Chain A
Amino acid sequence: MTQENVISIKDLKLHFTTTKGTVQAVDGVDFDLKPTKAVVVVGESGCGKTSLAKAVLRLLPRNAGQYSGKIWLRDIETMSLSDEEYRKQIRWIKMSMVPQAAMNSLNPVLRVGEQVAEPMLVHAGVDKEAALEQAAKMFQNVGVPVDFLNRYPFELSGGMRQRVAIAMALVTAPELVILDEPTSALDVLTQANIFNLLKEIKNGLETSFILITHDISTSSELADIVAVMYAGQIVEVGESHRFFSKPRHPYSIKLMASVPRLRSRAEPDFIVGRPPSLINPPTGCRFAQRCPSRFEKCVNEPPIYRFGDDWVKCWLYEGKGEIK
């Protein structure tokens, strides 16, 4: 099914069991991604962005409860695979991840070269020499001097460590890489350098990206498609040119208005209130409480209205787009 998409997600759910109740961190997410494209998932903190990344790569914490839905990678339906098969066939072979605060996720007592070679040893089953050779090649691709192979993480600057973490995600040449806040801890110039690198990789190696971030300004450096997440659900998916000039969902509009801009005098505005708790999310539209254009219909869950490849989950578009 859906072989033209790198990844195709249907009704993905990931709930966590806590002492206070079930947290519906990812609650019915659908989206498709075409090859060599980058989708950016944006939203406030606590809306389930990182949980989505973990659900896609099946990196579940111990308190994971319900985990359901369908994920196709090209023509493999990964949700039906056993954990062992998943580890051997999917994780880091077809899909890898650069975790949040990746610069601090390196093992402090292993040389960075070994760490970059490790995915090759574990997942691709090559010998150590070949793996190190591949690691050296990756270092060149991400702009880290090759003689850094024998260094330890503490000997590298933050930007360099981030590049190493990216090298580790790319070393097995996966088709899809998930980047979770790849530059949030870095300086502006370093951040710009990392985004330049990601652009080169996207164009040169034909990799697809899922970029998870709360920073809409920098996300525009990589985005082909923008997916807006709110309270565990995706509320709008849009092609980036259209989205950045004319977002549809009231939450997207508010989110865009809250971005301070350097090159315009427009006054940024904030969104009143806070995202709802994911333990007992409101019924109906989850944004309704904070929405300036709320009306009677919003007490019911809105359907998805399609506009070509873009879609929006909001009652305001009733009769304007096709129901999915």
Chain B
Amino acid sequence: MTQEELTIKNTTDSSENILVLDDLKVYFVLKKYGFQHAGYVHAVDGVNLHLKRGETIAIVGESGSGKTSLMRTILRLNVPTGGTVTFDGDVVNDLSPVELKAFRQKVGYVQQDPYGAMPPFMNVQTILEEPLKIAGIKDKAERRRRVIQVMDEVKMTPVEDFLTKFPHQLSGGQQQRIVIARAMILDPVLLVADEPVSMLDASVRVEILKLLRNLQATHNLAVIYITHDLATVRYFSEYIYVMYAGQIIEKAPESELIDNTAHPYTHALLAATSDPDPKNVDEMQDVPPGEPPSLVNPPQGCRFHPRCPHMMPGLCDVEVPPEFDLKNDHLVSCWLFREHEIANERS
């Protein structure tokens, strides 16, 4: 191994990485008549991802692009079909149930629908105490102290007023704060937020995003923010992964991705994201027709080729594009950039 290769290896394998996904695949078996094997849903198909301690990344994609399956696999709610999830040096795939419990205490999860994520028959205090009980904190006073502390952090004050309330007595924004408090109460190192603001009103949305950002900064949290809304990503993450049909098709630092967009699908996503601009009335939005492909039989070659305005017959519909390195940490899987070098070491 040459000196150069060694340094590359050192930087990527350093213990800075809290989460590493390597060629992760998640397939779901389809059954016919309840038992006959009828193929697979290729929900996640070869995803590589690196997340450093204290870093915020966003995974952007439409529904059906596999972003929720990816997230559930990171949380080990799905078992990967292939590839590995490495968390803090441990391979999550083969954790024993006891180790899994310890792993889940280090990972917080903020659900999309706050009301659906909370048991309606428990009050706020019981909801927040639950993780502490599972983590084995037996001292009642200690549990109460931590509940009050975390409520204070998510700005649900005066705390006493809220502890005895049930989820249905809270507004949407308050419910989401409680869900965030529950995710934060065991002081995790990684927070996975699955569309945390998509069910909320526009004005509350910004409030919750700011809260998440504050928590991220004060606790040096690593955050995976999953969304379809590029406009909110801008305020939240340092690095963006764009997902389409189970694969990451472009990844770049936030401003690089938005200012120097490469992949035609990312272009379409950006074009479809409106800003409040009166000129929009007179212009049609430049978006490709059609819908994301079925993941049972994904298209050959590049999975975006049936909708792509730059499709090159004989290339895009035959061969899967590798990741081309556009420099500045910007990788894209698209044949349009074939004059660039192929990225050998994934960043």
CA distance A260 to B206 in the complex (A): 8
Tell me which residues across on chain B come within 8 A of A188, comparing CB atoms: 62, 228-230, 269, 272-273
B residues less than 8 Å from A240 (CB atoms)? 278, 281
Which of B228, B235, B277, B289 is A244 in contact with, Cβ under 8 Å?
B277
User: What is the bound-complex CA distance between A259 and B206, given in angstroms?
Assistant: 8
Q: Report B286 CB to chain A, min CB distance, Å.
A: 9
- A245 — nearest CB in chain B belongs to which residue? B278
B281 and A215 contact, CB distance less than 8 A: no
A269 within 8 A of B: yes
A109 at the B interface (CB under 8 A): no
Q: How far is the CB of A119 from chain B (nearest CB, A)?
A: 27
Stretch of A17-25, A120-128, A172-180, A218-226 contacting B (4+ beta carbons < 8 Å): A218-226
Bound complex: CA A315 to CA B7 (Å): 67
The answer, yes or no, to whether A1 is at the interface (CB within 8 Å) is no
Contact residues in B for A189 (Cβ distance below 8 Å): 62, 268-269, 272, 287-288
Q: Which of A197-236 contact B (CB under 8 A)?
A: 199, 214-224
Once the chains bind, are B277 and A187 in contact (CB under 8 Å)? no
Min Cβ gap A256→B in Å is 7
Are B291 and A195 in contact, CB atoms less than 8 angstroms apart? no
Decide: A221 and B281 in contact? CB cutoff 8 A.
yes
Cβ–Cβ contact B62 & A261, under 8 A: no
B230 near A262: Cβ-Cβ < 8 Å:
yes
- What is the CA–CA distance of A187 and B235 in the complex, to the nearest angstrom? 21
Q: How many Å lie between the Cα of A271 and that of B201 in the bound state?
A: 11
- Contact partner of A268 (CB less than 8 A), chosen from B62, B171, B206, B228, is B206
Query: B271 at interface (Cβ–Cβ under 8 A)?
Result: yes
Instruction: Check B210–A216 contact: CB distance below 8 A.
Output: no
User: Is A134 part of the contact surface with B, judged by Cβ < 8 Å?
Assistant: no
Give Cα distance in the complex from A271 to B280, angstroms. Answer: 26
B152 to chain A minimum Cβ distance, whole angstroms, is 18
Given the interface contacts A190-B291, A260-B231, does A221 sit within 8 Å of B280 by beta carbon?
A: yes
**What does the 1/0 interface line of A242-258 toward B look like (CB < 8 Å)?**
01110000000011101
* CA of A192 to CA of B270, assembled, Å: 11
Q: A189-B269, A189-B287 are in contact. Are A258 and B275 (CB under 8 A)?
A: no
Number of interface residues, chain B, beta carbon within 8 A: 40
Provide the residues of chain A in CB contact with B287, threshold 8 Å.
189, 192-193, 196
Q: Does A159 contact B (CB under 8 A)?
A: yes
B268 partner residues in chain A, CB cutoff 8 A: 189
Do A187 and B204 contact each other (CB < 8 Å), given the known contacts A193-B287, A217-B276? no
Q: Which of B205, B273, B280, B285 contacts A262 (CB 8 A)?
A: B273
Q: Is B149 an interface residue (CB 8 A)?
A: no
Say whether B207 contacts A220, CB under 8 Å: no
In the complex, the chain A residue whose C-beta lies closest to that of B255 is A265
Can you list 30 A-B pairs with a CB-CB distance of less than 8 A? A44-B202, A45-B172, A187-B62, A188-B62, A188-B229, A189-B272, A192-B271, A192-B272, A192-B285, A192-B287, A195-B285, A214-B202, A215-B202, A217-B273, A221-B274, A221-B285, A222-B281, A243-B278, A258-B203, A258-B206, A259-B276, A260-B234, A261-B231, A261-B275, A261-B276, A262-B230, A262-B258, A262-B270, A270-B204, A270-B206
Check B260 for interface membership: any CB of A closer than 8 A: no
- B157 at the binding interface (Cβ < 8 Å): no
Please name the residue on chain A nearest to B265 by beta carbon: A189
Chain B contacts for A45, CB-based, 8 A = 172, 201
B284 at the interface (CB under 8 A from A): yes
Q: Given A220-B281, A240-B281, A270 and B210 touching (CB < 8 A)?
A: yes
Q: Is A137's CB within 8 Å of the partner chain B? A: no
Whether B202 and A223, one on each chain, are in contact in the complex, defined by CB atoms closer than 8 angstroms, is: no
Q: Is there a chain B Cβ closer than 8 Å to A274's Cβ?
A: yes
The reply to whether the CB of B63 lies closer than 8 angstroms to some CB of chain A is yes
Q: Check B202 against A216 for contact (C-beta < 8 Å).
A: yes
- Asked whether A157 is an interface residue with its Cβ less than 8 Å from the other chain, the reply is yes
Residues of B within 8 A of A220 (CB): 274-278, 280-281
Given contacts A187-B228, A267-B235, A268-B235, contact A244 B278 (CB under 8 A): yes
Contacts of A261 in B (CB 8 A): 231, 234, 275-276
Least Cβ–Cβ distance between A210 and chain B, in angstroms? 15
B232 within 8 A of A: yes
A265's nearest neighbour on chain B, judged by CB, is B234
